[in-house]
Chain A
Amino acid sequence: MSTHSKPWVKAEQKLGFRAARVPIALGAAGTLCAIAQAAAAARLLAGVLHLASGGAALAAAGAGFVAAALARAYLALLAERQNFELGAAARRRLRGQVLAALLGLGPAGLRGRHSGELAATAIDRVEAMDGFHARWVPATALAVIGPGLIGLVALHTDWRAGLVLIVAGLFVPFAMAVAGIGAALAARRQFLAMTRLQVRFLDRIRGISTIVLAGRAREEAASLREAADELRVRTMRVLRVAFLSSTALDLAAAAAMILIVVRFLGVVRGDEALAPIALFMLLLVPEFFAPLRAFSAVYADRMAVEAVADEFAALPTLPPPAKPAEIRSVAAHGVLLSFDHVSYGWDEARPVFDQLSFRVGKGEILLLTGASGAGKSTIMDLILGFVEPQAGKITVNGASLEALVPAARAKMIGWIGQKPVIFAGTIEENIRFGNPAASDTELADAVRWAHLQELVNNLPKGLQTQVGEGGFGLSGGQAQRIAIARAFLKNAPLLLLDEPTAHLDPATERDVLESLRHLALGRTVVLATHSSMAMDFAKTIGARRVDLDALRYTSWRE
């Protein structure tokens, strides 16, 4: 855990304790029942020794024992279920936050991050927080409340024995601190080292085919074994000290027991009043230490937080969405897009383009060309609103793009990229992704215009065929046609085509371009490409061209 994740852990802790009031109260009630049960058992045992009188009182103690046991069982059951709900609620909340942050950052903000890694934060790291909220938080509170309650009752009943208990109880954290501060620090580092080994193992397993095909399986297995052995030796060095704190707990419990026996041994001598008290005190000893044991058992849950805190703390907190200065909609038919002296760079040292200006009129087509890295995708991201221009202005029908509410902007724009993402689901669901409210006729038209009819007819389940993860594998051209069908269905007046044929072979490229010709009719289109066939296609439908290489060349020369 680094320093910047500390406030995050603190905040989680605060939230955790606030949410855990009910299960903590249930636990405290359980402790009270345990006290009552110990009192009843003490009276019964005294009765066995003929040191307590009264058949009626004994019957009452028996009934009390049964009632207290039933109540404890029920309270423990409730607490366990409540604890689960604590963990579930915390996971739901954290997952919601992570997903909101990822959605808020958008594709430009997550540029260069591994989606598997991000998914691990949204899934595995969120799951790893379960133990903290469901177990550590209640156990920590009860490690104070439980012994506290029992200590008070003991003090009240017999102050000498009570004092013994309380001193023994305070000895536990004291001994843990003396024997364990160094060890705890080292243990924390050790826990991180262990986590790193797990990550390393995971990484090697994921890349196993790279290792196998390079013929290095034996070497890597040996180095994994070595790393694990080294970690074991170092970990055990720490654990040998760390376990001393558990031993301190055992020792304190044993000492308390013996001291209480000593306190009563000489004085009871068959005293009917004192004997049940002596037994009560002895029966309280294990109950007194039980919450402390439970607390040291959830140590790993607390440590697990350290391993994931950095990733959570690094997620951006989203600013509340700024209200656009002027909210206005743009006419649904026909869009005029213009860039007015727009500049953008991913960082200051590397401007992508400077003072770029162009206009695309209603129903016109603009062809963007240039080497990869020249800024074609950046222009798309600017229009889509994933990034903001550093200077200059982008307008749509005369209105500044920033002034549009995001939903209005999204409604206006259709987009097809290099490699469309096919979601796990049916082909129909994937097409309807473009517009869930579309009618069946509109869907059928989109399928026809995107030249998907042939594919769909050849599949036994037609539009209901499962695609995406675990489904039918679509070729690049087929996936691109689904993207075109999506765009048809969305029917937006401004169409952005970002290298739509980059990964296709010439025959498929020709087909896809044919479908695009139909899609482009009547829309304002920006087409970025470096395929010569796509450029020729753009020329045949009367596109104007902006060559970003030439622009850059000129701006460098100046």
Chain B
Amino acid sequence: MMNPILRIFSLWTRFWGWLMAAVLLSLAALLANVTLSLYSGRFLALGLLGMMLAVPALLPLVGTARVVLRYFERVVGHEAIFRALANLRVWMFEGLAASAAGGLGFRRAGDALSRLVNDVDTLDGLFLRLMVPLLGALVLVPVVAAVLWREQPAALIVLLALVVIGFYLPVLTARAAGENAAKAGLAMSGLRTSVLDMLHGLREVKIFEAEGRMLAVIQAREAALLSAQRELTHKGSALNAYGFLLAQAGVLAAIMLGFTGAKVPAVAAVLVLGVAFEAVLGLPRAGLLYGQAKAAAARVVQAAESAPLVSEPVSPAPMPSRNAIAFEHVAFRYAPDRPYVFEELSLQVAQGTRVAILGPSGAGKSTIAALLLKLHAPEQGQVRLGGTDIAQLPTEAVRHRIAYLGQTTHLFADTIRHNLLIGDPAADDAALWAALEAAQVADVVRALPEGLDAWLGEGGATLSGGQGRRLALARTLLMNAPILLLDEPCAGLDSATEQEFFRVLNAATEGRTVLLILHRLTGAEQLDRIWRLTAGTLVAAAG
């Protein structure tokens, strides 16, 4: 596999103009700095010897150029990196949407996804803190070599220190960070798991007096994380100290050589070396960043570019006009080493009928939804839509036919309006209110002072669980799809609301095909057919 950092850089070809401008400005500022110290060293020495009495006009000129160039270096560098980062985020979003991660979110994997987002943030220092100074060092070495050759050839030996600081120490820090990244990452996810465990199980923790035990586990994980970070800090600080000492040794060597050669060039050489060392001393630290960024980039690239679990048909069949659903002798398991969820599952849902699938949790009800939505493909058998095998149909077109409400449907940290518009971006206010009425949540929204423009917290935190479910249902009803696939739509609703909900659903979905996935019936559903899922097969129940 290609080095993931290079892969990230290759994404940024569109911004090469900006990136190159930033690099060139930075190099120009660095060269101005070298020139400045070269001339000021010379003039200073001459002045001290009484051979020059006024500051030559050249000096303030170069000094001003340096200040101005540095300003534009900062501005252009940030402009470039903002463009590149925005692009990286959108690229990752599109990549995840197209790849397996769509299915990843289907099962609760929010935390794995959040970690990926942190990884993207880790990449933001790559350009300004690593790439630019590294290119600077590459240019600096021959320039400084040329200057020293002219002023004091013997001082060339000092370049060795410069090369070690600029190119060898960063490799060492990068290696240390790379080795440490896995350890720190493991410790971090351990800490996260134990904190989430405590929060999910707070009731159990209190009732079983486990506060002390849980805190002890969390503190142990935290200590592991800190010790991994401490180890890296210790290595990094030692390498920094070596770098500093090398630079000082270089300067001292240049001074000593000055006693043997011409006096004025010696002073100039010392000042130039001072600037050169200052420019590379940050690089060992940037090496740390490289080590961490490489691990992060590998995860990001892998997640964004992994192939989808269900591949697109090479020559897709035309979309069928009808919307009947049929599962024919479907065998499926999540992985070759996992047991079969179904070995021979068959199911017919005629167009415009209402069908419920009942079954205990863990029986594979949601897997039926995943197969129908093309998140997974059956190992054997076929899933047909309007008579055509969905493997032959484009995934997006199939999903456009199906309005799906899942158990882990996400409410976005946005306004209620925007949350609803995900169902149908073209819907007007009247349509939004109609959907809210149908989902029995219009009263709740009307009671909010900002109405449709009320802000929902992360994960819908400003609503109760039941209200959030109903809002998600309203969004699903807005999708104008001929098939409704509802996975436990009433979780979190009390029984009176649940019954009312089904009455409304029956009216709102007249003529549509409805597939309900439930663990028990309330009696209010008007169903054409009820299937019970046990031991991987569907058995017709009364109805």
Contact = CB atoms under 8 A, between A and B. Distances in A.
A286 B50 CA distance: 24
Interface string B21-58: 00000000000000000001001110111101111000
Contacts of A523: none
B50 A49 contact: no
A258 B55 CA distance: 8
Q: How large is the interface on B (under 10, 10 to 19, 20 to 34, 35 or more residues)?
A: 35 or more
A407 interface: yes
Nearest to B70: A250
Interface of A, helix, strand, loop or mixed by DSSP: helix
B188 to A, nearest CB: 8
Interface in A454-496: 468-470, 473, 475-477, 486, 490
A133 interface: no
Contacts of B92: 205
A228 B237 contact: no
A239 B78 CA distance: 9
Interface residues of A, number: 134
Contacts of A117: 457-459, 461
Interface centre among A286, A433, A435 (most CB of B within 10 A): A433
Nearest to A420: B204
Nearest to B413: A203
B154 to A, nearest CB: 13
A106 B202 contact: yes
Contact of B105 (A48, A49, A206): A206
B361 A372 contact: no
Interface string A17-32: 0000000000000000
Interface centre among B255, B270, B464 (most CB of A within 10 A): B255
A213 B102 contact: yes
A462 B480 CA distance: 49
A371 interface: yes
A220 B93 contact: yes
Contacts of A45: 255, 258, 267, 270
B123 interface: no
A102 B199 contact: yes
Interface string A116-144: 11110011100000000000000000000
Interface in A75-134: 76-77, 80-81, 84, 88, 91-92, 95, 99, 102-103, 106-107, 110, 112-119, 122-124
B467 to A, nearest CB: 10
Given A49-B48, A51-B49, A269-B50, A205 B96 contact: yes
Contacts of A124: 118
B427 interface: no
Interface stretch (B140-148, B317-325, B404-412): B404-412
Interface stretch (A166-174, A318-326, A408-416, A440-448): A408-416
Interface in B183-211: 188, 191-211
B117 A504 contact: no
B298 to A, nearest CB: 18
Interface stretch (B4-12, B107-115, B509-517): B107-115
A103 B211 contact: yes
Given A80-B240, A213-B399, A503-B361, A221 B226 contact: no
Contact of B399 (A81, A107, A215, A278): A215
Contact of B45 (A49, A69, A507): A49
B336 interface: no
Contacts of A210: 105, 406, 409-410, 422
Contacts of B106: 209, 213
A366 to B, nearest CB: 19
B446 interface: no
A507 to B, nearest CB: 7
B121 interface: yes
B362 interface: yes
B496 interface: yes
Interface in B138-185: none
Contacts of A503: 361, 519
Interface stretch (B60-68, B380-388, B434-442): B60-68
Contact of A99 (B45, B188, B198, B264): B198
Given A73-B244, A99-B198, A424-B194, A224 B89 contact: yes
A531 to B, nearest CB: 9
Interface in B219-238: 222, 226, 229-230, 233-234, 236-238
Given A80-B237, A117-B458, A505-B519, A433 B204 contact: yes
Interface stretch (A193-201, A335-343, A539-547): A193-201
A358 interface: no
A435 B210 CA distance: 9
A191 B12 CA distance: 24
A159 interface: no
A423 to B, nearest CB: 5
A473 B339 CA distance: 12
Interface centre among B204, B256, B258 (most CB of A within 10 A): B204
A207 B412 contact: yes
A235 B74 CA distance: 13
B410 A88 contact: no
A192 interface: no
B244 A372 contact: no
A266 interface: yes
Interface in B253-284: 255-256, 258-259, 263-264, 266-267, 270, 274, 278
B78 A48 contact: no
B289 to A, nearest CB: 14
Contacts of A4: none
B207 A205 contact: no
A310 B201 CA distance: 26
Contact of B192 (A46, A123, A250): A123
Identify the 7 closest CB pairs spanning chains A and B, nearest first.
A207-B410, A209-B105, A505-B360, A228-B86, A269-B50, A421-B201, A372-B494
Given A103-B215, A198-B117, A505-B519, 10 more contacts: A72-B248, A81-B233, A114-B459, A202-B117, A204-B412, A209-B106, A209-B410, A215-B400, A235-B78, A475-B362
Interface of B: 40, 43-45, 47-50, 52-55, 59-60, 63-64, 66-67, 70-71, 74-75, 78-79, 82-83, 85-86, 89-90, 92-94, 96-98, 101-106, 110-111, 113-114, 116-118, 121, 188, 191-211, 213, 215, 218, 222, 226, 229-230, 233-234, 236-238, 240-241, 244-245, 248-249, 251-252, 255-256, 258-259, 263-264, 266-267, 270, 274, 278, 358-363, 373, 396, 399-400, 404, 406, 408-414, 422-423, 425, 457-459, 461, 464-465, 475, 479, 493-496, 519-520
26 contacts: A41-B251, A46-B48, A65-B248, A65-B252, A76-B237, A77-B240, A116-B114, A119-B195, A202-B117, A203-B458, A206-B105, A209-B104, A209-B106, A213-B406, A214-B399, A214-B475, A228-B85, A232-B79, A236-B82, A265-B53, A275-B48, A371-B496, A384-B203, A384-B207, A410-B207, A486-B208
